[in-house]
Amino acid sequence: MSTEHLDVLVVGAGLSGIGAGHYLQAECPWASYAIFEARDAIGGTWDLFRYPGIRSDSDMYTLGYSFRPWTGEKSIADGASILEYIRETARVEGIDRKIRFNHRVVTANWSTEDARWEITAERTDPDRPDAAPERVELTAGFVFSCSGYYRYDHGYQPDFPGMDDFAGEIVHPQHWPADLDYAGKQVVVIGSGATAVTLVPSMADPGDGSGAEHVTMLQRSPSYVVSMPAKNPLARLLQRLLPTRLSGPIVKWMNALGSQGFFQLSQRFPGVVKKLLRRRLEGLLPEGYDIDTHFTPSYDPWDQRVCLVPDGDLFRAIRDGSVSVVTDHIDTFTETGIRLRSGRELAADIVVTATGLELLFIGGIEASVDGEPVDIASKLTYKGMMLEGVPNLALAIGYTNASWTLKCDLTCDYVTRMLNHMHDTGLRQATPVNADSSVTPAPLLGLSSGYIQRAADRFPKQGSRMPWQVHQSYLRDYRALKRSEVTDGVMVFSNPTSPAVEAEPATVAS
């Protein structure tokens, strides 16, 4: 039996994988492709996370696709609406017919001789979860990894002392029990990131007894928390006045530039931004509230991700007393709750460990080139979307300081232009090659957040100059990806039988 061959294999049917499907269908109609998805559902993150209140923490006008502008009422949207948006995009464009569910890609070896990837995947049978997975083999001309950035099987959960003694329930937000009943219960949420600030007001009692008796957000150290209107009146007005093909890009750019402006302001004038954020908090929290302890981090804004709360919901819950924030360290879990280093005890029926994600690169795929394992941590990223010396492999990695999709849209556009160039010239191998020995490596993601630092030695690096540098800037990436030639002097196009073709002079932005 002959092995199946695809022009492109997309890994993952989340927000990025469905976006990749759109671009491949629209821009490379000649290409055969399939999306291998390890789970049995579309949506990735937005299908996996089911905790109360799950929502976006960046605006949907930039988290939505540029080819299918978000027209929902809310700019900060709930998880179910985002999942439906992704599913509908897949359905409307027939991308869902390209997905092979329950197919986990496990190995990928690039064969230079054949200029193609030799892929192994494991197919599981959802009706027989205990059965050994079936091995599936195929080849692909190009692999587009849209596999997200974290492990799906478990989140990050520190081993706190005494956890086994706790008589209540311990829940991680990544595996939320559908039947968890927290009405009238004492809940402690450990964490201070986006998940904690989402969960805490959502579990609080709205006044009708349906929520928890009390929710305590227990944090080791505070984060920056900013309130944003859930609805954007200007965007809604433009959407009403203009056809979507005009309002979509205008509203997207408005939001992209707005978030980038805030980021740049924070980087250049952290003192000013700190003062502005504090003044805003003073208006949202009860008089005399200890902002220094609970909402004033030791780092500058955007050294770690800034948490966003829609319409100040967290602060409203603090004001009405249904939620409190405790900043302290855990000494030990006890049978009835948590004892803190200060000696204080927090009673709890349920403890939610919103302690984060366990990062994972390219969905854990073991990649090799001609049988030689790719040492990912030693590689530079090319334009934040390919790996130095690794042919025909692109990665959908979004921004840490703006919506994920802004970068992935640019990456998809670039990948399809590169594929078309290869198709037109008959050159089947595209490899980013670093010939500049003065380029020095630095961590890929500049944030000091714990979950990023924990994984820094497993992730590739960025270089000290373009095209190896990762700017976390939509404007700069727009020039480097959308407004540049794919033949930039660094990307080497070649064939197994012909010598490498020298690319034309560089036209990339510096």
End-to-end alpha carbon distance in the chain:
49
List all residues 6 or more positions away from 266 whose beta carbon is below 8 Å from its beta carbon.
273, 300, 301, 302, 306
Nearer to ligand FAD, 39 or 428 (CB): 39
Binding mask 79-118 for ligand FAD (x = CB under 6 A): -------------------------xx-------------
Query: CA torsion 261→472→199→226, rounded to 10°?
Result: -20
The burial of 342, by beta-carbon neighbours within 10 Å (0-12 exposed, 13-18 middle, 19 or more buried), is given as exposed
Nearer to ligand FAD, 423 or 454 (CB): 454
Which of 8, 11, 394, 445 binds ligand FAD (CB under 6 A)? It is 11
Whether the CB-CB separation of 196 and 377 falls below 8 Å is answered with: no
The amino acid at residue 444 is L
Nearer to ligand FAD, 141 or 398 (CB): 398
- Residue 263 interacts with ligand FAD (CB under 6 A): yes or no: no
Nearer to ligand FAD, 390 or 490 (CB): 390
Which of 363, 384, 391, 460 binds ligand FAD (CB under 6 A)? It is 363
Binding mask 365-404 for ligand FAD (x = CB under 6 A): x------------------------------x-x----xx
Which of 7, 9, 56, 89 binds ligand FAD (CB under 6 A)? It is 56
Binding mask 63-82 for ligand FAD (x = CB under 6 A): x-------------------
Rounded to a whole number of angstroms, the minimum distance from the CB of residue 22 to ligand FAD is 13
Is the bond preceding residue 505 a cis peptide, omega within 30 degrees?
no
Tokens of 88: 């509908």
Distance of CA 234 to the CA centre of its chain: 27
Pairwise CA distance, residues 216 & 196, whole Å: 10
- Residue 17 interacts with ligand FAD (CB under 6 A): yes or no: yes
Three-state SS at 189: strand
Which of positions 186-205 make contact with ligand FAD (CB under 6 A)?
A: 195
Rounded to a whole number of angstroms, the minimum distance from the CB of residue 86 to ligand FAD is 8
- Residue 37 interacts with ligand FAD (CB under 6 A): yes or no: yes
Beta strands in 248-385, from DSSP E residues, in sequence order: 307-310, 323-327, 330-333, 337-340, 345-347, 350-353, 366-369, 372-373, 381-382
Nearer to ligand FAD, 37 or 205 (CB): 37
Which of 8, 9, 10, 13 binds ligand FAD (CB under 6 A)? It is 13
Which of 146, 189, 251, 410 binds ligand FAD (CB under 6 A)? It is 146
Whether the CB-CB separation of 380 and 439 falls below 8 Å is answered with: yes
List all residues 6 or more positions away from 419 whose beta carbon is below 8 Å from its beta carbon.
7, 8, 24, 27, 28, 31, 142
Whether the CB-CB separation of 383 and 480 falls below 8 Å is answered with: yes
Rounded to a whole number of angstroms, the minimum distance from the CB of residue 432 to ligand FAD is 21
> Could you identify the residue written with the tokens 């407004």?
483
Rounded to a whole number of angstroms, the minimum distance from the CB of residue 312 to ligand FAD is 18
Which of 23, 33, 49, 474 binds ligand FAD (CB under 6 A)? It is 49
Give the pairing type, strands 491-494 and 429-432: antiparallel
Nearer to ligand FAD, 186 or 401 (CB): 401
Nearer to ligand FAD, 105 or 136 (CB): 105
Pairwise CA distance, residues 154 & 145, whole Å: 20
Pairwise CA distance, residues 509 & 28, whole Å: 26
Number of amino acids touching ligand FAD (CB under 6 A): 32
In the complex, the residues that contact ligand FAD under the rule CB under 6 A are: 11-17, 36-39, 44-45, 49, 56-58, 63, 104-105, 146-148, 152, 195, 363-365, 396, 398, 403-404
